[in-house]
Structure 1
Amino acid sequence: MFRTNVIDMVGLPGMFGEGQCHWDQVTRILRSHWYHLTLQHHQEGRTYEATLMVDSEPRLQQILLGQGDDLRVTDVLVVTPSHMNGTSGWQMETLVEATLGEDENECSVCLLEVHTGAIYHSSHVAGFNRDSLTNLHPIYQASMIR
């Protein structure tokens, strides 16, 4: 989840369109992964590009399923904290596949395969083994973008 503060709002609510606000910055409290999407929106013969920061797999899936002639996802990156990617800091990498499953406690766990072939997981269980997941279902595959 991303959090905003009213002092970071640019302009007045609605000045960029009904229901729209712009922000100088957003805050993220949790040290969990999120998605950075590039979208192309086609409207009245023009193409607009936008970046969308997505917090969860259900929201990512909703956006992917919502693609059509006027809106398409052109790039999906995953941003992972150090405890997931095994480095000393956050990393942004091209996402190849995202899969959800359940661990032995029936908690949702996400498996993330990135362009290097590395596979990260969202579990906080010590000694986690991804082969122990059940009810696996893909949320994203690179072939889902155009």
Structure 2
Amino acid sequence: MFISDESCMVGLPGFPGPGRTAWRMVERDPEDFWYHVRFRICEGARARFKKLMPSDPSMLAHLLSQRSTELMIEGVQVVTPPCMNGSPLERMEKLISVMVGCDKNGEYVLLHKVDSGAIYSSSLDVSDAGLLNNIRMIYDATTAAGKHFHCTNYPTSTTVTQC
């Protein structure tokens, strides 16, 4: 979850639009992962981009369900904390897949596979999908469920350069 402090609010509630508030800074729990999703929004022959930062897999799944011919996903990245990625700092990496399943104790476990081949687990005990039951894929960049689509009416090359 992202946490904000009122002293960091820019302008008034409703800026930059109805139901929205702008912030100069947000805070995060340092031991949680989060996602960075880049959308391409097609508006006629033009496109603009939006970056959203969901803080949990259910919100990521919701964003993925919003795709349409006008709203395409350009790329999905995961930001992992040091305790998950084994380094001294957070890492932002291209997400290949994320799945959820239950371990032998019935606890939910998330497995994030990134472009380097590393698999990050939300559990210290499970890093192999073979140890999970009731597995559900939330995102898979290699299947139709996760492919990056293009605007049909927006001039672009056939190759998408991802962040």
TM-score, length of structure 2 as denominator length? 0.82
How far 1:58 moved relative to its partner? 1.2
Contact 1:32-1:122 within 8 A present in 2 as well: no
Contact 1:39-1:72 within 8 A present in 2 as well: yes
Contact 1:41-1:47 within 8 A present in 2 as well: yes
Question: How do 1:1-146 residues align onto structure 2 when only pairs under 5 Å count?
Answer: 1-124=1-124, 127-128=125-126, 130=128, 131-143=130-142, 144=146, 145-146=148-149
Q: Give the SS at the match of 1:117.
A: coil
Q: Which has the higher strand share?
A: 1
Q: How many pairs are equivalent?
A: 144
| Structure 1: segments with no counterpart, 5+ residues | none
Tell me how far apart the structure 1 counterparts of residues 15 and 138 of structure 2 sit (CA, whole Å): 35
Q: Give the SS at the match of 2:61.
A: helix
> Aligned residues: percent identity?
35
Q: Specify whether residues 51 and 4 from structure 1 end up closer, same or farther in structure 2 by C-alpha distance, changes over 3 A only.
A: same
Stretches of 4+ moved more than 6 A in 1?
none
Tell me how far apart the structure 1 counterparts of residues 106 and 13 of structure 2 sit (CA, whole Å): 41
Give the aligned CA root-mean-square deviation in angstroms.
1.5
Tell me how far apart the structure 2 counterparts of residues 43 and 107 of structure 1 sit (CA, whole Å): 43
Q: Specify whether residues 117 and 129 from structure 1 end up closer, same or farther in structure 2 by C-alpha distance, changes over 3 A only.
A: closer
Tell me how far apart the structure 2 counterparts of residues 44 and 17 of structure 1 sit (CA, whole Å): 22
Tell me how far apart the structure 2 counterparts of residues 21 and 44 of structure 1 sit (CA, whole Å): 28
